[in-house]
Structure 1
Amino acid sequence: MLLRSLSLLPALAALGLSIAAMTAGRVVADSTRISPDSALAKELRQTCRSISELSFAGASADAQEIMARAQEIIARGDRALAACTRLIDSGSLTGGDLAGALLDRGDILAPGTGDTYARALADYDRAIALAPTAAITFSKRGKAHLLYMRNLQQALRDLDTAIRLDPSQADFFVTRASVQAWLKQPDKALADLDRAIALAPTFEKARSVRGLTHLDQGNFAKAIADFDEAIRLAPNSDENYSFRAAAKRAAGDQDGARADETKARELSSPSNTPAQR
């Protein structure tokens, strides 16, 4: 099903297993207490969070470029995990600050399997215990359940809780819609996506995911309309051109599909790296 290609994976998804495997076994904790207001603490926090700034956006199919980007992400992941662990083990953080560092480390570890994924869940669980009314804690754990282990029922419970705690976040509704799509509940998924768009009309991902949901249901005209809007909001996203190409092809517009496929290839070519866009 096309919904299973939903691009809700975080930037690390493609290389998450590699990062988790390469970093989990060699991080050495430094339990030296760090002043929470010190320059070192601030630097560690920034490094801990820095992994989310990287992605494969704009990477071409060129193996050398992809490998270089992969090595960069793995190296950054190693440093981020070490920084998160040092902060957590140093005793310098408490309450919400500690919960935030646990969430960051959980995000780095979650793409792993076995013990590494279990460590991520332990970090999410600990963050929830520290901040039980923070919607983001449940959202992140729910997204991990969805993306990495396909534990759909647990993901749905966590997203239900996140939305109950904070119904103003469009991203929560989009993630829950993805769970519902996997559970073959398209009506519920579309209702959540409609809500997300009402909350954030310029949220491109909501349009893209709703387009995929319509496409999966055979509603080609509605799918194309959503992809049109997604492309207007994010004109450099090759994904949306690929999605619209699939919808046009299904609707019988072969010329339009080929044009969109050409545009998607153009956007993902080496000459369209993020620095040049």
Structure 2
Amino acid sequence: MTILTRSVLPLSALAALGLSSAVMLTGQAVADSSRAKPDSPPIEELRQTCRSGPEPSPAKWPVDAQEIIAQAQTITARHDRALAACNRLIDGGSLSGGELATALLDRGDLLALGTGDAYARALADYDRAIALAPTAAIAFAKRGKAHLLYMRDLRRALRDLDTAIRLDPSQADFLVTRASIQASLGEPDKALVDLDHAIVLAPALEKAWTVRGLTHFNKGDTARAIADFGEAIRLAPDADANYRFRAAARRAAGDQDGARADEAKVRELSSR
């Protein structure tokens, strides 16, 4: 079973890595009235809109066709507003250094959702951000996730996650992403080392328990898989995926009653 993780890393990590949140001017605001002051509302509004990121798809789409269309249009409109704000920030020439790198990463996240030319532009933004902030672990992690999720380029993804973890080994999410890549490359033992470490760092990270459960399951260790899915369910009781995974592990272990109970829970959650 191919394991993927997909989640957007928090921008607060950028601040922790020294990517300043203050807008830096490239010219004198008094002399050049075309450029806004760093504290002016328009610039701050653009920054907030740019970093709002893509709207995630809902866990459950509505049944009604008109509601589905309306929700899809809302998601598209938010994406387009965020992208337009990022473009204005980056192309306006008001940002430099770490703040420019932040905006480039935000725009890269928006563009990476596309294909072809859009994805190529996303990689260019990630590359440019890394050139501006070569010690920012989050930049390598974001580029690595893009390679993993959108291009399935596992080797490049692994190189970027290796660098991200070397720069900041304290981020459990980085370890979970690398473990997903290692498991996909047929290296479950390496994946388990990263997942064990991630759980020590962040025992409440449901995703780490889920991925470790899947890794154990793929190795044929159903007992450990069931235990890990159980902890993931305790942490996120309304996430039906973990009930599905535990049902499969229970069925493989011969626990048909337990599997049926989990499958019934999946149906219950899906009907809400």
Alignment TM class, shorter chain as reference: 0.7 to 0.9
1:56 pairs with 2:57: yes
1:111 aligned to 2:113?
Answer: yes
Structure that is richer in helix per residue:
1
| Residue 255 of structure 1, CA deviation | 2.3
Q: Secondary structure at the match of 1:51?
A: coil
Aligned partners of 1:146 and 1:179 also within 8 Å: yes
Tell me which residue corresponds to 1:262: 264
The equivalent residue for 1:202 is 204
CA distance in structure 1 between the aligned counterparts of 2:267 and 2:48, rounded to whole angstroms: 35
CA RMSD in angstroms, aligned pairs only: 1.7
Greater shift in the superposed pair: 87-96 or 162-171: 87-96
Larger gyration radius, structure 1 or structure 2: 2
Match of 1:238 in 2: 240
Task: Give TM-score, length-normalised by structure 2.
Answer: 0.85
Partner of 1:129 in structure 2?
131
Q: CA deviation at 1:57?
A: 4.3
For residue 267 of structure 1, give the secondary structure of its aligned residue in structure 2. helix
Residues of 2 paired with 1:259 and 1:60: CA distance?
25
Q: How far apart are the structure 1 equivalents of 2:7 and 2:69? A: 18
1:18 paired residue number: none
**Is the contact made by 2:53 and 2:109 (CA closer than 8 Å) also made in structure 1?**
no
Q: Which stretch shows the higher mean deviation, 183-192 or 232-241?
A: 232-241
Residue 93 (structure 2) pairs with residue 91 (structure 1): yes
Classify the secondary structure of the residue corresponding to 1:77.
helix
User: Residue 263 of structure 1: CA displacement?
Assistant: 1.6
2:103 aligned partner: 101
Identity of aligned residues (%): 71
Gaps (5+ residues) in structure 1? 12-31, 272-277
Within the alignment, does 1:183 sit opposite 2:182 as a pair?
A: no
Q: Post-superposition shift, 1:264?
A: 2.0
Q: Which has the higher contact order (CA 8 A, sep 6+)?
A: 1
Confirm whether residue 9 of structure 1 aligns to residue 11 of structure 2.
no
3-state SS of 1:268 partner: helix
Q: Deviations over 1:167-209 (max 9, x none)?
A: 0000000000011011100000010000100111111110011
Extract unaligned runs of 5+ from structure 2. Answer: 9-33
1:253 partner amino acid = D
Q: Is contact 1:56–1:69 with CA below 8 Å preserved after alignment?
A: no
67-76 or 108-117: bigger deviation: 67-76
How high is the TM-score relative to the length of structure 1? 0.84
Cα displacement (A) at 1:75: 1.3
